[in-house]
Amino acid sequence: MKIPGHTAVGMPGKRRTREGPLAWLAAASVALSLIMLGALLVLLSVKGLSNFWPATVHQLTLKGGETVIGVPLETRELPSRQGLERRYLTANRDDGGGIWRWLANDQITEDTTPEDLVVLERRHWGTFFGRLVALQSGDQRLTGPDAWTVLESRLKEINALRDERRRLTHDEILPLIRSMEDQDGHRSEDRRLADLQRRASELQQRMQGDLVVLENGQGRRQEQALAEILEAWRPNAMAWHEKLGHWVRELWQFLSQGPRDANTAGGVWPAIFGTILMVLLMSILVTPFGVLAAVYLNEVAHQGRLTRLVRIGVRNLAGVPSIVYGVFGLGVFVYGIGGSIDRWFFESTLPSPTFGTGGLLWASLTLALLTLPVVIVATEEGLSRIPLHQREGALALGATRFETLTRVVLPMATPAMLTGLILAVARAAGEVAPLMLVGVAKLAPQVPLDGEFPFLHLERKFMHLGYHIYDAAFHSSDVQAAMPLVYATALLLVTVILVLNLTAIFMRHYLRKRHGAPVRR
């Protein structure tokens, strides 16, 4: 508790020096913690957010006459300690494998940044650095500046078509197929499906047909279908406001789109959605249980040895490693309860499981169990902090014990319950280990909430930001290439947890004000 009017450091003036080492030590630990936290946020922000900035692309001429196109990255000393070398992102994975190249500084004879260098974001094979030679649209062949202008406008059309096709597939064709599976298909449904599929392939047709001719650093030419290209930009020709616009667009795509290329590119929207939805479900599950358990322990149960034992047990449960809860969730929820549900209600689809496999519901339940002790302990502390004379005041007015509990004690304890919930959310949103056992998926492009009955699909697997980080950092084909994505996702996870916590904190603040209690700091 803070004593009003006293500062943590101590008395001002000369006395302060006498407190000497302890005060300094305390201040130093605070400073160190703050610096570490600040460093964490700065690192995540810089590394994560700079990834979306359109970096200048350099064209280098080497001593042997070879030309390399790339984005310069970090510098280090040569192994021979004679001069420096620099790492360049050269992209073009289809052009020999690697996307990085170390070049010694003295190898480079010329370093320019020509404006006609293009960067292409492709559906496969990652990024391309090089030049646009020509654009072939039907019989028409465009070269020079015209080619770039037409490329940009055609790309917009194609992207619109692609969005339309995605919408058609996800919102109409897939639900129709699923409903037909359920009810053995009617003729009319068959016809509707065929019609939809024809429309989809029509869209596909309209996207195709155009070709671009590209030239890489060495001057080697290659053809590329325009439908394969997602985005194209010329960073060296962009003014800073264009770059900013590009950055915002890229960031938005990262937040709003699904992942591509085995989670090494694209966005993380399903993961954001999965994380938030799971945490919300967890909160809905854990709060009533935790509060009722705390009320029982603190208000109803006889305060004897058994209650004390239960209380110690609950507190110790908070320290059990999360993976243990994961194993429990797998054994009890997934195989036990989920398996039974499948046998009773979904027998027709067996042996392919419905609830008998990891899913949103089981993950939320497992995390609710994991965070239950936190909620119980926080609520109990809130209940025990309510002064006896408040309860006696209600009793003396003729309230029964139950009325005292519901009308005075519980409203006064709501801030404590929310504190418990805040701690629970903070813990649950950051957990990854137990989720791997009970329902998280590497790729689940369909979010578990959609327009299809029953709207919230508790049995579906879902994506999670924490697991996405783990997957991108350990399981992608080129870990170094995935690192910016890892940083960006980590920053996003921190932001999501922060937003969830702030929501709860504002709710607590509002409740405290409404109940007129002085705000404790």
Partner 1 sequence: MSIDGELPKRQLAQARLGNRRGAVMEFSAADTCLDIQGLTLAYGGKTALKDLTLRIPRHRVTAFIGPSGCGKSTLLRALNRLHDLNEDVSRHGQIHLDGHDIHDPRVAVAELRRRVGMVFQAPNPFPMSIYDNVAFGLRLQGGLSKRRIDDVVEWALKSAALWDEVKGRLRASAWSLSGGQQQRLVIARTLAVEPEVLLLDEPASALDPISTLKIEELIRTLKPHLTLVLVTHNMQQAARVSDYTAFLHNGELVEYGPTDTLFTHPRLRRTENYITGRMVG
Binding site for partner 1 (CB under 8 A): 302, 387, 389-390, 392-400, 403, 407-408, 411-412, 515-518
From residue 336, give the alpha-carbon distance in Å to each of 328, 332, 369, 399.
10, 5, 16, 45
Instruction: Tell me how far apart the alpha carbons of residues 394 and 384 are, in angstroms, rounded to a whole number.
Output: 16
Beta bridge partners of 128: 120
Q: Which is nearer to partner 1, 62 or 395 (CB)?
A: 395
Please give the Cα distance from 52 to 55 (Å, whole number): 9
Task: Quote the least distance from Cβ 275 to partner 1, whole Å.
Answer: 35
**Cβ within 8 Å of residue 144, ≥6 positions away:** none
3-class state of residue 137 by DSSP:
strand
At its nearest, how many Å lie between partner 1 and the CB of residue 419? 16
Residue 276, token pair as written in the block: 């938030």
* Min dist. Cβ of residue 390 to partner 1 (A): 6
Instruction: List the beta bridge partners of residue 71.
Output: 89
Residues with Cβ within 8 Å of 477's Cβ and at least 6 positions away in sequence, in order, are 262, 264
Tokens coding 293? 């358990």
CB of 483 to partner 1, least distance (A): 51
Considering beta carbons, is residue 398 or 454 the nearer one to partner 1? 398
Tell me, what amino acid is at 50?
S
Question: 3-state DSSP: the chain helix, strand, coil percent, rounded to 5?
Answer: 60, 15, 25
Alpha-carbon separation of residue 330 from 66, 275, 324, 364, 469 (angstroms) = 57, 19, 10, 12, 22
Question: Radius of gyration of the chain from Cα atoms?
Answer: 30
1 vs 22 by CB, closer to partner 1: 1
Question: In the complex with partner 1, which residue's Cβ is closer, 62 or 399?
Answer: 399
Q: Is the Cβ of residue 22 or residue 396 nearer to partner 1 in the bound state?
A: 396
Closest contact distance (angstroms) between CB of 444 and partner 1 is 46
CB of 406 to partner 1, least distance (A): 11
Element (H, E) at 38: helix 15-50
Please report how close the Cβ of residue 511 comes to partner 1 at its closest, in angstroms.
Answer: 10
Pairing of strands 127-137, 108-112: unpaired
**Residue with smaller CB distance to partner 1, 121 or 299:** 299
Q: Which is nearer to partner 1, 18 or 302 (CB)?
A: 302
Euclidean distance between CA atoms 253 and 267, whole angstroms: 6
Which residue, 15 or 389, has its beta carbon nearer to partner 1?
389
Asked if residue 72 lies in contact with residue 88, where contact means CB atoms within 8 angstroms, the answer is: yes
Q: Burial of 201 by CB count in 10 Å (0-12 exposed, 13-18 middle, 19+ buried)?
A: exposed
- Closest contact distance (angstroms) between CB of 508 and partner 1 is 14
Min. distance of Cβ 504 from partner 1 in angstroms? 20
Q: Measured from the CB atom, is 411 or 430 closer to partner 1?
A: 411
